[in-house]
Structure 1
Amino acid sequence: MSKYSRALKCSIAKQYLQGEGSSEELSRLHSIPSRQIRYWAQVFDIHGSQAFTPHGFAKSAQTKLQALKHMWTNGWSVGHTSAVLNFSSPGTLSVWLKQYERGGIQGLECSKGRPTMSKHPFIQDKHDDEKTLEQLKEELAYLRAENAVLKKLEELEQEKRRRTKKKRK
């Protein structure tokens, strides 16, 4: 999910393009980097009301490679190519370029999201009767530490609530 909504991007880009403020002024007003505002304006200038709409370029390695080839054949920068292709940020194309430089077409293969989190090393799927004494001790130590962390978090939350009550009185 994007950090900024499509409506906000379009609104700020319109303001910039209509001369309602420089990128630096809009940057201070909205707490958004001026460079980002200039990029949004470029995308909005090219695509108008269709700016920042989802696209199918992230579907396969072939479409990613097409985007890179489009940039290379036209001699465009990463930023300009990203704007022409209606990407929400030029960072996407930069990542694809690095992946291609490292691993060629195989480097562009889709890797969906983050890798799955590994299970806790001390909690295994074995029944307690099947575990060794050492494994049981490690699991017990892990669970005690986890319990201590949860207790500390609860203690901090209660302290925070007490402070806010004192401030209200």
Structure 2
Amino acid sequence: MAKYSRAFKIAAVKQYLNGTSSLSLGAELNVPASLIRYWTQVYRFHGETAFQPPISPYCAQDKLRMLNKMWAEQWSLGYTSAYYNLVSPGTLYVWQRRYRSSGIKGLEPSKRGKTFMTQQSSPPQSSKISEMTPEEMQKELEYLRAENAVLKKLDALYLKKQSQTKRKR
């Protein structure tokens, strides 16, 4: 969800273009003056179609094309991001930093969503204790002790947090 709606941005730009200073308008709308000036630059490039999100996320080639255009024309981050109707110049800065550190791979869209931890070690999977070797029994004992210690620590942290919240009230 965007912090400022498209209608809000266009209204702010129109007020700025009608002669209100960016400082007073920023104070009135509780928006940084530099952001109002950036919105104005985007509006001058794109008119009423400004501030519309892209139909699909930019692929790595699109991002690289934008960066190459910026470098070839020696444009600033603000001018380039306004030219391409990006949300902020910070977006282009992040792309530039990723490209310089990781190349084209750094520009590829990252996967979103929850990442799940893979279980690193698990207890030995023997069904009967009588069939286990002494080494397997030792491994399982160590695993169970570690698991128990983690659970005790978690319980202690929970109790500590609970007692701190009781004191605050």
TM above 0.5, one fold?
yes
1:45 aligns with 2:44: yes
In 2 relative to 1, CA 70–8 (structure 1 residues): closer, same or farther, beyond 3 Å? same
Give TM-score scaled by structure 2 length: 0.75
In 2 relative to 1, CA 146–63 (structure 1 residues): closer, same or farther, beyond 3 Å? same
Q: Is the 8 A contact 1:58 1:64 kept in 2?
A: no
Cα distance between partner residues in 1 of 2:83 and 2:70: 10
Q: Per-residue displacement from partner, 1:100-125 (whole Å, max 9, x unpaired)?
A: 11122122121134773759xxxx98
Q: Per-residue displacement from partner, 1:17-39 (whole Å, max 9, x unpaired)?
A: 121x1011111112211111100
Please list every run of 5 or more consecutive structure 2 residues that lacks an aligned counterpart in the other structure.
124-139
Cα distance between partner residues in 1 of 2:106 and 2:96: 9
1:111 aligns with 2:119: no
Q: Per-residue displacement from partner, 1:57-103 (whole Å, max 9, x unpaired)?
A: 74311111011122123222111110011112111011111111112
Q: Give secondary structure in 1 for the equivalent of 2:58.
A: coil
In 2 relative to 1, CA 153–92 (structure 1 residues): closer, same or farther, beyond 3 Å? same
Q: Quote the residue 1:3 is aligned against.
A: 3
Please list every run of 5 or more consecutive structure 1 residues that lacks an aligned counterpart in the other structure.
160-169
Q: Give secondary structure in 2 for the equivalent of 1:46.
A: helix
Q: Is the 8 A contact 1:57 1:63 kept in 2?
A: no
Name the count of aligned residue pairs: 149
Q: Quote the residue 1:138 is aligned against.
A: 150
Q: Give secondary structure in 2 for the equivalent of 1:132.
A: helix
Give TM-score scaled by structure 1 length: 0.75
1:153 Cα deviation from its structure 2 partner: 3.6
Which structure 2 residues correspond to residues 39-118 of structure 1 after superposition, within 5 A? 39-55=38-54, 58-113=57-112, 116=115
Q: Which amino acid aligns with 2:148?
A: L
Cα distance between partner residues in 1 of 2:61 and 2:12: 33
Cα distance between partner residues in 2 of 1:90 and 1:40: 11
1:14 Cα deviation from its structure 2 partner: 1.2
1:148 Cα deviation from its structure 2 partner: 3.2
Structure 1: which 4+ aligned runs deviate by more than 4 Å?
none
Q: Quote the residue 2:18 is aligned against.
A: 18
Q: Is the 8 A contact 1:23 1:35 kept in 2?
A: yes
